[in-house]
Amino acid sequence: MRASFLVLLPALGAFAAGCGPDCQSTCNKIYAESECNIPRPGSTRDELLSDCEDSCEAALDKEGAIRAEYVPSERVTNDEPVEYSNDQEVALWMDCVVATSCELLDDGYCAPI
């Protein structure tokens, strides 16, 4: 019991301190010119950033569990849209983006991008 508490302590401290990704930093990593700078035809950089942050914030407002079919760490290889739908899924997505290189993000990992 004591060992489990000690393992959770650093994680709780990071969460309480506000460390870790948020919608703005995650979307900036994907679309900002100074970061990955991933383009999408038909959209301006400002539109990409705004849409990304709006979608992310909306998902954070919805409580839920991670669906078995939502696995952002797997590469999307088809044209079917992949979306996160709640706070747990968007948190998983943000962690994936932070841990993934720009080349892999642009190659279909950490969907939706």
Note the pLDDT tens digit of each residue in 6-24: 333 333 333 334 578 999 9
Per-residue pLDDT of 53-80, as tens digits, reads 999 999 999 999 999 999 999 999 887 8
> Would residue 27 count as lying in a domain?
yes
- State the total domains in the chain: 1
Per-residue pLDDT, averaged over 23-48, amounts to 96
pLDDT of residue 8: 33
* Residue 77 structural domain: 20-106
Assess if residue 58 is contained within a domain. yes
Q: Would you mind telling me the total number of residues written for the chain in this entry?
A: 113
Asked whether residue 5 is assigned to any structural domain, the reply reads no
Longest C-alpha distance within the chain, in Å?
A: 55
Report the SS3 class of residue 94.
helix
Residue 15 lies in a domain: no
